[in-house]
Amino acid sequence: MPAGVATLAPTTPAGVVLDLAAVLILVSAFACLGSKLFARYVTYYGIQSLVLAVAVATVAVRTGDRGLWVLAGLTLVIKAIAIPSAIRRFLLDRLRLQRDGGLAAGLGVSLILGAVLTALAYLVIGRDLLPPGVGTVPAIPVATAVILLGGLVMVVRRHAVAQLIGWLIIENGVVLGAVTLAANFPFIVEAGIFLDVVASVLIMCGVVLGLGDDAAGGAALRRLSG
């Protein structure tokens, strides 16, 4: 059994906090999926990132890994504060985005699909998918469900900014799974993923601003054939 995982069993206080955090992250993903306002997307994403920072800090407390502390701090500063405020200032305010009109599926259908995907995540994450000894960590199916929900957001939303949020949710799910599965994850990998996220936000800001609201709203995104 890996050292980090042993200390995160669901019966310990840290395990309970981690499970709770995981559930909150899942709920915020659902909240994004069930919302129609751009401002709410960003708010829910900020909350999700904040909870994720708490989860990472919890694992850091239990394992005493300095790299994880840095990761928790980075998550707090960049994902919970910097990225939401950047999206608000550079995209929502400049393009005057309020209501998201570009839905490929209704909110009800999206939520039902999300529930189905969550159930599927619990079904498919069996013991044999996980490293030996971690089969009892409940956060893993939750992390998988968050990844799938982020993907669903990208599929059912037509607006580029909403798709960006979906992408960021996927990334949060990946980090959640990574810190619970392998607490002694090399920091350099985490730092690389962080760079990717920051770069993708920057690129999306540039692209969306360049496209303008009309095109980013889906008109240009439906003509991507060769």
Partner 1 sequence: MATVALGLAGAAAAAWLGAAGLVLAGGRRPAVSLQAGLIGLGGLAALGAGLVGVVAGSSESLALGNQLVGPVAYRVTALGATFLTLLGLVALTAAVWGARAHARSLASSAYLAALALTALFTLATLCAATVTAFLVAWESMTLAATFVVWRHHDRREAAWGGFLFVALGEAGFVCLTAALLLLATQAHSLDFQVIAARSATIGSGWRGAAFVLALIGFGFKAGLVPLHLSIPEADPAPPADGSAVLSAVTAQMGVYGIALVGFRLLSHGPAWWGLLTMSLGATSAVLGVLYALMERDWKRFLAYSTIENVGIAVTALGAAMTFLSLGQPGLGALLLIAGLYHVLNHGTAKALLFLTAGTVERATGLRDLDRLGGLARRMPRTAVIALIGTLALAALPPLNGFVGEWLIFQGLFQGFRLSSHLAAVLIVAAGAVLALAGGLAINAFARAYGIPFLGMARSGAAGRASERGQPVLAGAILAGVCCALALGAPLVLIGLAAVVRRTVGIVILPRLLVPGLTLIPAHPGFSSLSPTYLALALVGLLGVPLLILRLARPRAATRTVPVWAGGILRFRPRMQYTATTLANPVGVTFEDLYRPHRDLERASDDPAGRSGPVHYGFRLLPVYQRFLYQPLVAAVERAARGLGWIQSGDVNWYLLLVFLTILVAYVAAGR
- For the segment 85-124, give every residue that binds partner 1 (CB under 8 A): 104, 117, 120-121, 123-124
Residue 155 engages partner 1 in binding (rule: CB under 8 A): yes
Asked if 200 contacts 167 with a C-beta cutoff of 8 angstroms, the reply is yes
Start-to-end C-alpha separation, the chain: 50
> Would the CA dihedral through 193, 5, 69, 77 be positive or negative?
positive
For partner 1, give the closer residue by CB, 15 or 141: 141
Q: In the complex, what is the shortest distance from the CB of residue 220 to partner 1, in angstroms, rounded to a whole number?
A: 9
Q: Are 103 and 158 in contact (CB under 8 A)?
A: yes
* CB proximity list for 31: less than 8 A, separation 6 or greater: 40, 44
With binding defined as CB under 8 A, does residue 223 bind partner 1? yes
CB of 203 to partner 1, least distance (A): 15
Please, which residue, 24 or 121, has the CB nearer to partner 1? 121
Q: 106-110: long-range contacts at Cβ-Cβ below 8 A with a sequence spacing of 24 or more?
A: 107/33, 107/34, 107/36, 109/156, 110/33, 110/34, 110/152, 110/156
- Exactly one of 57, 59, 72, 156 binds partner 1 (CB under 8 A); that residue is 156
Interaction between residue 210 and partner 1 (CB under 8 A): no
Of the pair 105, 193, the CB lying nearest partner 1 is at: 105
Radius of gyration of the chain (CA): 18
Per-residue interface string for the shown chain with partner 1, residues 158-177, x marking contact by CB under 8 A:
x----x--------------
Query: In angstroms, rounded to a whole number, what is the distance separating the alpha carbons of residues 212 and 190?
Result: 33
Is 29 one of the binding residues for partner 1 (CB under 8 A)? Answer: no
Q: Which residues bind partner 1 (CB under 8 A)?
A: 104, 117, 120-121, 123-126, 129, 144, 148, 151-152, 154-158, 163, 218, 221-226
